[in-house]
Amino acid sequence: MTALDKITMIRRNLEKYQATLPNVVLDAVYENEGKILDLVRDDQLTKQGIDGSGKSITPKYTAFTRSIKRDKGQVTSHVTLRDTGETQDTMLMEYGSDYFYPVATTEQVPGLLRKYGNRIFDLTQNSVTEAAKIMRPDIFKRSLKMIFN
């Protein structure tokens, strides 16, 4: 194979790669789904009590709820959406042809969305940045394979 043939092959592979880039990213999300969901569950909800827009989840817990959560040894300073852990434990990614977003699947979810807003499970911009860092090695490896194979 001549140098020109090799360059032509790489150019063609780049064109194919460009068309399949959304799939490369979605594959990396799928491979790292648990880590990405932890950004929402652990960092956003449990540690910070914020929704996907970065705003505090409101309304705050009532005095009664804070008392129950304190007895359970749970965070009371902000809304975490964690009581039994069922809602956060059922979180998964919903995938489309060129998008993904976190969802939870318990029967409590519709009520939580009504009460706290439809962004409670979304990734914040900071979490998107962290997710990109998590996925970068997978995307890089897949990209090199597609372009230079």
Using CA atoms, how far residue 134 sits from 15, 28, 37, 130, 140, in Å, is: 26, 9, 12, 6, 11
> What does the pLDDT look like over 76-109, one tens digit per residue?
999 999 989 899 999 999 999 889 999 999 999 9
Structure tokens given for 40: 């929402």
Whole-number Å distance between alpha carbons of 48 and 98: 29
Global confidence as pTM = 0.86
Mean pLDDT, rounded, for 48-64: 96
Place of tokens 């709820």: 65
DSSP per-residue letters across 12-23: HHHHHHHHHHHH
